Chain A
């Protein structure tokens, strides 16, 4: 059923008893043209674009848990495209443009809110780096502007720009088109739209092995619900990508770290934008529910535990309290961790692998949510054509052999 004013009015009149399930929960078929491993935002978006744009609808998306239950449900929902290098700017801007029309495309309100993302500078090095980003972005046609501390305060009145704090605000880079979206709605919207086009979403179906034929090409996947044949397999397993790729004997340039976030008790609207500080590691925005959403840093060690040390969150809260003194008496409601797969150059990996028929989309590290539509879009093209999409091509797995790295250590807002 399409969501519209008419359907909403009709359901309102009959007590909302007529809404169907948003996606089907079918039993797995014996064979699919494409199997996607991982039903997070990126995996579901991949399936959606395969079915909607590329005519490949015989697709299954498998997940060991429920859809959107990994990093898609654990991130801080920030969207921006102000990355330094042309390759990165291209893919994140591609994604941002898809965000702008996504609710309409999916017929699902993903609550994309371009409320502005402001990144703070606290020392001379920060000022130089952020100004370099501003200039590089503007040359690439991406909006980004430099603000004085007073202008930054004007844009976010909660911000403490006093000179007496340990790391005073010296300026800020503002991307006005950046903002937030509702993370769960992104997964649900893609799942619903993909399911309607014939994609099978199979939850609670862990992949335990990748089968290969005599020639070495992918033949299918072994799962908790038996063997599922596949012409092509796309691995989009975020923090667990190394584990899945090891099933095909492929070593990955990835390390998995816990990344924590926390939310406060809900309060009335007070925070008009997203503020990020890489240097003192604090970033904050406010959800439509009223909770202040705060991103903390990664732990020092690799882990799959989906939890992290309390000292990491404590450091972030100390910085938040100094930058936004108003929030000092708020209580924190919940904190959690997600497992992020980090590459040596902090850029993602999207493309082919040494195994014929096996594709991988990973390495989004601490900032994959913003890329969800663009990542799924270019990965779908890559799988359907068997060769990298133009925007995905620089992000090949092979770049770690050739040395053509895309160093975004400064743009990744989470220090690690």
Chain B
């Protein structure tokens, strides 16, 4: 089980308190009417599915209830950093 540091509660909590929210920083097209089918497929369905370090969203469902982001290595499952939405991913 992962131990995840919630950047709002400022506590390391067990994974079962959280809900995984998928790849982070997937931006909804600002002008939906201008997006063609391929563009929607890319936004809705296509994912980087990175092997290595990637950014993902978590929601502290059974805690503060808020979404935040994490950088995690998908090979070792080690979480490198967690950060609030709107913040730059730490290097």
Q: A residues within 8 Å of B by Cβ?
A: 240, 242-243, 251-256, 300-305, 307, 309-311, 341, 344, 400-403
Contact = CB atoms under 8 A, between A and B. Distances in A.
Contacts of A305: 74-77
Contact of A253 (B41, B51, B74): B41
Given A301-B72, A305-B76, A242 B48 contact: yes
Most chain A Cβ neighbours within 10 Å, of B2, B16, B47, B75: B47
A253 B38 CA distance: 12
A111 B16 CA distance: 39
Contacts of A303: 74-75, 77
A344 B49 CA distance: 13
Contact of B46 (A240, A400, A402): A400
Nearest to A311: B1
Contacts of A311: 1, 15-16
Contacts of A402: 37
Nearest to A257: B20
A41 B40 CA distance: 33
B44 interface: yes
Contacts of A309: 1-2, 15
Counting chain B CB atoms within 10 Å of each CB, which of A243, A304, A305 scores highest?
A304
User: Binding site of B, secondary structure by majority: helix, strand, loop or mixed?
Assistant: mixed
A96 to B, nearest CB: 29
B81 to A, nearest CB: 15
A301 B2 contact: yes
Contacts of B15: 300, 309, 311
**Closest A-B pairs by Cβ, 3 of them:** A242-B49, A253-B45, A300-B20
Given A302-B56, A400-B46, A401-B41, A255 B75 contact: no
B74 A302 contact: yes
B19 interface: yes
Interface string B16-27: 101110110000
B74 A400 contact: no
B42 interface: yes
